[in-house]
Amino acid sequence: MISVKFGGTSMGSAERIRGVAQIVIDLHKKQPAVTVSAMSGITDLLLKAAKAAITGQKREMDSILFQIQEKHLTTIDELVGQKSLRQKARDHIAAELTHLEEFLRAIAIIGELSPRSHDEIIALGEKFAAFMLSVHLEDQGFDAEYVSLENIVELGVFDKVDSLFFTTVQENIFSRITPILKRKGIPIITGFFGRIPGGIVEGIGRGYSDFTAALVGRALAAKEIQIWTDVDGILSADPRIVSETLILEELSFAEAAELAHFGAKVIHPQTIWPAVEKNIPVRIKNTMNPEAPGTLITKAGKHNTCAPFKSITAKKNITVVTLSNMTKGKHETMAEIFRLCSEHGVAIDLISTSEASLSLTVEGSEKKVTALEHQLKKFCTVSITIGMAVLAVVGEEMRENIGLSGRFFSTLGKVGVNIYMISQGQFEVNISCVILENDVEKAISALHTEFFSPCPLPQKS
Ligand code: ADP
Ligand code: ASP
Ligand code: MG
């Protein structure tokens, strides 16, 4: 079997869903288990509705619910020919939306939104998308079955997201999907899984459907995990920043994981580890251009011959925390920092130390960073700089390429980009540095021109 995932843009309209259905039908012989994301824009609307409920903006809430309803009902009408099936889909959407409305009204009264309630609200986007695709396939005579992973783990059994949690998720996915595949049916799975401890947005992050598809692939020992999106593959830079980019033919697991970690939105950062564990190749494909080969991610990867690395990426919304006047010894300070970051759910990316100070970049909500700052202040002076970004170039080609870092930094210097922190891992898969968030576009464009001009650049956006 193969695990196949379609993103929000791919599911964005009746026409697009038709295209997705055709791709699924073409893949039928390979026994696809299909995971889908919400129609583009729907998760944002659901998050807005939750916010409106909690802040008591009832009119805004009603207007959002109406928009969600209209978008889905129109799509169903365009998508489903058989009257009884169309009615089934309309009734399903209406019932779920009535439930959501009641739920949001209750939240407005209580004035409190737990991570679990939050999950219940945003799950709807993936539930609707999966339901519509399954009914559309049914309408065309295929044995498609809608699978909601919303309750794939029993509520309250786990209090944290750890390897045991993921093992249970995968075991339950296996028993839920296997009977469908055995009878040659097509499971259409919600990209939302579980109502996870701490909430899926906080715990896994937006774009979680990629990760769900990877878990499905790992659970069912897929031959391949395919992530279908709106670009021809992983590119040498974000196409919204650089208009002519190189489509990367093959990357290693390590490179793809680094790229996703450093902000390349095309795959969710957690997509790679389930694939690594079972050595399952991951392929990125374009729904709007299914003939294109896409990008293949494998254990070994393949070297780029026209540039000294694979891709440039950046992660915005980074805070630099600098500690000085530390009252504890260095080892104690380090231990305390890691403990506090873990306690507050704040991820550290880069660290730089000297005798007098220690700087680290953290990612996390303002609330979490403030809580961390408060704790750190107990044993040192803390200075916080917001509005920063981590810029990274990624590629195994860089290993032992003497002089590359010099070229990297001088390119940034030439366009007036100041560098606040620098890091390079021992495996030399990436070079990363901290720059101002406002310099990201300028930095990426300059680096791309410097390093990728010898490459054939077919992708124009
Ligand atoms: P989906 O809805 O299919 O999950 P996303 O919007 O999450 O799609 O991811 C695809 C988008 O990622 C592309 O449209 C592109 O703008 C962006 N992107 C950022 N960096 C890269 C990159 N290096 N390669 C390809 N796409 C990238
Ligand atoms: N729809 C969800 C989001 O926007 C999940 C996904 O697209 O994978 O985050
Ligand atoms: Mg995505």
Nearest ligand, measured from the Cα of 312: 1
pLDDT number for residue 354 = 85
230 in ligand 1 pocket by Cβ < 6 Å?
yes
Nearest ligand, measured from the Cα of 248: 1
Segment 276-298 mean pLDDT? 97
Is 461's pLDDT higher than 60?
A: no
pLDDT tens for 61-112 read 999 999 999 999 999 999 999 999 999 999 999 999 999 999 999 999 988 8
Q: Token pair for residue 260?
A: 């996703």
Q: Token pair for residue 38?
A: 């919400």
pLDDT grade, residue 424 (50/70/90)?
A: confident
Q: How far is the CA of 252 from the centre of ligand 1 (A)?
A: 18
Q: How far is the CA of 328 from the centre of ligand 3 (A)?
A: 43
Q: What is the mean pLDDT of the chain?
A: 94
User: Highest mean pLDDT range out of 43-47, 200-204, 399-403?
Assistant: 43-47
pLDDT grade, residue 230 (50/70/90)?
A: very high
Measured CA distances, 105 to 50, 56, 109, 120, 291 (Å): 10, 9, 6, 14, 47
43 in ligand 2 pocket by Cβ < 6 Å?
yes
Q: How far is the CA of 235 from the centre of ligand 1 (A)?
A: 9
Ligand 1, residue 9: give the atom nearest the CA. 2
pLDDT grade, residue 215 (50/70/90)?
A: very high
Residue nearest to atom 5 of ligand 2 (CA): 207
Q: Token pair for residue 154?
A: 């029993």
Q: Token pair for residue 414?
A: 């030439």
Q: How far is the CA of 1 from the centre of ligand 2 (A)?
A: 24
pLDDT number for residue 4 = 98
Distance, in Å, from the CA atom of 42 to the CA atom of 23, rounded to the nearest integer, reads 23
pLDDT number for residue 329 = 80
311 in ligand 1 pocket by Cβ < 6 Å?
yes
Q: Where are the beta strands (DSSP E) in 194-240?
A: 224-229
Nearest to 27 by CA among 228, 213, 220, 208: 228
The CA-based angle 32-37-42, given to 5 degrees, is 155
Ligand 1, residue 40: give the atom nearest the CA. 2
Nearest to 212 by CA among 182, 249, 187, 180: 187
pLDDT number for residue 460 = 52
Segment 342-370 mean pLDDT? 85
Range of lowest pLDDT (63-77, 143-157, 346-360) = 346-360
Higher pLDDT, 460 or 427: 427
Ligand 2, residue 42: give the atom nearest the CA. 1
Rounded to the nearest 10 degrees, the angle between the axes of helix 83-110 and helix 58-79 is 170
Cβ contact 170:215 at 8 Å: yes
Terminal CA-to-CA distance of the chain, rounded, Å? 33
pLDDT tens for 5-56 read 999 999 999 999 999 999 999 999 999 999 999 999 999 999 999 999 999 9
Q: How far is the CA of 412 from the centre of ligand 2 (A)?
A: 33
182 in ligand 1 pocket by Cβ < 6 Å?
no
pLDDT tens for 291-318 read 999 999 999 999 999 999 999 999 999 9
Q: What is the DSSP string of 7-39?
A: -TTTTSSHHHHHHHHHHHHHTGGG-EEEEEPPP
Ligand 2 pocket check: which of 42, 71, 126 to mutate, most ligand atoms within 8 Å of Cβ?
A: 126
Helices (H) and strands (E) in the chain, counts: 14, 16
pLDDT tens for 241-265 read 999 999 999 999 999 999 999 999 9
- What is the identity of the amino acid at 49? A
- For 222, phi then psi, to 5°, come to -65, 155
Say if pTM beats, i.e. exceeds, 0.85.
Answer: yes
Segment 209-238 mean pLDDT? 98
